[in-house]
């Protein structure tokens, strides 16, 4: 059995076990510019009916440039931050001890809040023995919901978040992007790059993670960080190599020696870059992946294995 077949079987088994709820597929990477959005939008279009694409890269959302949705709803989003009643606060310091992000400090007999550092977990409010902490809303950004109607028989639900200028705390807005809207059989998450809090917030709770990389020294370094991250989170994952015939073989060697499945290899082609620059997805008419679409669509059985399409031979041959 090939590595691709092993990965396909693994995801098929997981899909059957989780048949009662939506399957969440996260597209992530250790660095920016590897092709996450390109892949996420192509998979959403190849999936057919019953898919929601969620752009969780709230600091730099760009999936809408390829999806080109008809927008239906725009909402401003707030996040809760602690507000301390100085009259009731005993300066016991339990809130500061709990906060792992130093958003609360106790000095001079009073507690101080640094809202920019707060991750809005509300743990401080729950632990306060005096009941001196309440929530107040702080603007953090916006959510936009819409639908792609290129194929009326297979519309794509689309949700995107955008962090407000001056805001630095992405995780609360990422959680909002993940939770808003009706549950479709398949959720595809276009995740932020890197391995810090935004990426971890986006992939947490996913059924499967695809790590997109490229065969360069930077690509390998950041792939190693991403692999360690998803393993720490206990998430099953596979790797897709973009621009696979450029660079060197060190990414392939790394995956082979550590038993990591390479699900797909997308070659380095000018025609793909040209399609991207036009805002065309890999599934767009006339785009380089068009010849592979019948195979992609035919091998995406919603009752067996949602991600089967991405486990076919390279989609940009």
Q: Three-state SS across 80-149?
A: EEEEECCCCCCCCCHHHHHCCCCCEEEECCEEEECHHHCCCCCHHHHHCCCCCEEEEEEEEEEEEEEEEC
With H, G, I as helix, E, B as strand and everything else as coil, classify residue 160: strand
Residue 202: in which H helix or E strand, if any?
helix 197-203
pLDDT at position 18 is 47
Q: Tokens representing 157? A: 């639900």
CB 162 within 8 A of CB 61: yes
With H, G, I as helix, E, B as strand and everything else as coil, classify residue 272: helix
Instruction: Return the CATH superfamily for domain 3-50+184-311.
Output: P-loop containing nucleotide triphosphate hydrolases (3.40.50.300)
pLDDT at position 132 is 95
Instruction: Answer whether CATH 3.20.20.70 is correct for domain 78-138.
Output: no
pLDDT at position 149 is 79
pLDDT at position 313 is 32
Quote the pTM value.
0.80
pLDDT at position 5 is 52
Q: Tokens representing 150? A: 């290129």
Q: Tokens representing 231? A: 């393993």
Q: Tokens representing 148? A: 């792609």
CB 201 within 8 A of CB 171: yes
pLDDT in tens, the chain (317 residues): 555 455 545 555 554 554 556 889 999 998 888 889 988 998 888 877 788 999 999 999 999 998 989 999 999 999 999 999 999 999 999 999 999 999 999 999 999 999 989 989 999 999 999 999 999 999 999 999 999 877 777 788 999 999 999 998 899 999 999 998 766 788 999 999 999 999 999 999 999 999 999 999 999 999 999 999 999 999 999 999 998 888 889 999 999 999 998 888 888 888 878 877 887 777 664 444 444 433 433 333 332 233 333 333 333 32
* Residue 270 CB neighbour total at 10 angstroms: 8
- The residues spanned by each domain of the chain are 3-50+184-311, 78-138
With H, G, I as helix, E, B as strand and everything else as coil, classify residue 257: helix
Q: Could you say which DSSP state residue 310 is in?
A: G
Q: Could you say which DSSP state residue 205 is in?
A: T
């Amino acid at each position: 059995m090939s590595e691709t077949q092993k990965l396909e079987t693994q995801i098929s088994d997981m899909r059957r076990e989780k048949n009662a709820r939506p399957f969440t597929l996260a597209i992530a990477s250790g660095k920016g510019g590897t092709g996450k959005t390109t892949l996420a939008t192509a998979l959403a279009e190849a999936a057919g009916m019953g898919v929601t694409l969620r752009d969780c890269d709230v600091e730099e959302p760009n999936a809408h440039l390829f999806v080109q949705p008809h927008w239906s709803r725009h909402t401003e989003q707030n996040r809760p931050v602690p507000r301390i009643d100085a009259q009731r606060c005993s300066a016991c310091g339990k809130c500061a001890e709990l906060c792992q992000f130093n958003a609360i400090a106790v000095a001079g007999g009073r507690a101080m809040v640094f809202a920019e550092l707060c991750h809005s977990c509300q743990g401080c409010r729950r632990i306060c023995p005096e009941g001196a902490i309440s929530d107040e809303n702080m603007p953090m950004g916006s959510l936009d919901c819409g639908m792609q109607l290129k194929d009326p028989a297979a519309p794509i639900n689309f949700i995107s978040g955008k962090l407000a200028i001056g805001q630095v705390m992405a995780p609360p807005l990422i959680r909002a992007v993940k939770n808003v809207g009706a549950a479709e059989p398949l959720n595809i998450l276009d995740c932020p790059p890197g391995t810090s809090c935004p990426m971890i917030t986006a992939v947490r709770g996913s059924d499967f993670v695809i790590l997109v990389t490229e065969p360069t020294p930077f690509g390998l370094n950041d792939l190693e960080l991403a692999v360690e991250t998803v393993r720490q989170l206990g998430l099953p994952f596979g790797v897709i190599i973009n621009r696979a015939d450029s660079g060197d073989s060190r990414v392939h060697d790394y995956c082979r020696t550590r038993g990591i499945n390479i699900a797909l290899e997308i070659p380095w082609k000018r025609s793909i870059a040209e399609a991207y620059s036009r805002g065309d997805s890999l599934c767009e008419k006339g785009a380089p992946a068009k010849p592979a679409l019948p195979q992609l669509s035919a091998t995406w059985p919603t009752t067996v294995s949602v991600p089967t399409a991405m486990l076919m031979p390279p989609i940009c041959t």
